[in-house]
Structure 1
């Protein structure tokens, strides 16, 4: 075989190898793009707490505007309270009460904490009902009704910040350790199924969109507004 033939053959092999590699690369990247991230039940509940915390910020801004008597649109507070009732109380908390609290009591784990959390759920529902009822413009014409609304919002915020924190740092991690991987995955699927059954295809993402619009109504969507000037 001549030297020129050997060189041509080597060039052909290298070209084929390079072509094969270039064809494989996009296939790998497309496979990665198609992968969906699985969210476990505890992580799902934690991100829902994030949504609730954003509503607590709306509540605080509502109180600030009521106190300052400027640009007070109580429909923003009312819509926020409706999200709390439908998404947090009637969905999120029901999951905890149906799947987490009974298992903790059965295993005799954090029973005192669970009892307190459930009591706070009941108290929160009463406060939400008051907030929804009083979040109308006519409330501002009465000092006593305005004071009652502010009190209900403040009590709700004061209770739910430590409530969420204790669940995220104590309850959920303990609960996660109690379940096998199979049980944990199956529970995550149950949570997801119920979420989409109650809130449609968008589920949690749709709720976040609604919260975002309410934040914009009170001009607190821009995160830079919370940065201190130091």
Structure 2
């Protein structure tokens, strides 16, 4: 197949085969079948790399809400399971900092710098990544029963979560509304598509077959433990 990366085509065919075996997304010219009676299969569309990064920001936002709840409990002397806080910070460390942000630093930021686009913004975002890792370390260090029982450590953890929340809300918003759209504009279509393949491969290499869905399930479990999973809890009484 001229002009197509063999590795990319191989992965596409493997996913198509899996979709066929599972009987998903069946379509046809008439009633799900061709004129000859054969069932046709429409492969699922690839997730563009910028959309992949934006949905990962959804995980980050949900952890920010968990931190907000944890901070509220600690400030008001209410019960907070240390394991819930530690699990949240571990998701930030492994999924956001060691995976999501590394994709940005290795693929997104260099291309923008090379194109002379948003260079100052990229520099600030990279600095914020570095600061965020320091804050995550502080949260992890203090997220123990002994740590949260100690007033000094508890205040340190609360300050770290508050600083993290304040920084990352505008951080992810700027990336979603400015950085990622600009990046997509400067990328050739074929290279952009192949980058999505690389992102997907790396996701499953690090997090197994469940990938992103498995991470979302972990976050939902923490939300249930803290009784903030139901979306209706965030509806104001007006």
TM-score, L = length of structure 2: 0.83
Residue 72 (structure 2) pairs with residue 72 (structure 1): no
Could you tell me whether the CA contact under 8 Å between 1:101 and 1:114 is conserved in 2?
yes
In terms of fraction of residues, the more helix-rich structure is 1
Could you tell me whether the CA contact under 8 Å between 2:59 and 2:219 is conserved in 1?
yes
- The separation in 2 between residues aligned to 1:25 and 1:142, in whole angstroms, is 67
CA deviations over 1:124-171 (Å, ceiling 9, x no partner): 001001101101111233211111000000000000000000000110
Residue 20 (structure 2) pairs with residue 25 (structure 1): no
- The separation in 2 between residues aligned to 1:71 and 1:162, in whole angstroms, is 29
- The separation in 1 between residues aligned to 2:76 and 2:211, in whole angstroms, is 36
Between the two proteins, the alignment pairs up a number of residues equal to 206
Give the alignment's Cα RMSD to 1 decimal.
Answer: 1.5
1:224–1:31 CA distance, 2 compared to 1 (3 A): farther
Gaps of 5+ in 1: 1-22
Greater radius of gyration (CA):
1
- The separation in 2 between residues aligned to 1:219 and 1:148, in whole angstroms, is 24
Runs of 4+ in 1 over 4 A off after TM superposition: none
Secondary structure of the residue that 1:35 maps to in structure 2?
Answer: coil
Give runs of aligned pairs for residues 65-214 of structure 1, distance below 5 A: 65-214=73-222
Could you tell me whether the CA contact under 8 Å between 2:204 and 2:211 is conserved in 1?
yes
Cα deviation for residue 180 of structure 1 reads 1.3
Higher RCO by CA contacts (8 Å cutoff, separation 6 or greater) = 1
Pick one of 231, 234, 237 that aligns with 1:226.
Answer: 234
Could you tell me whether the CA contact under 8 Å between 1:62 and 1:74 is conserved in 2?
no
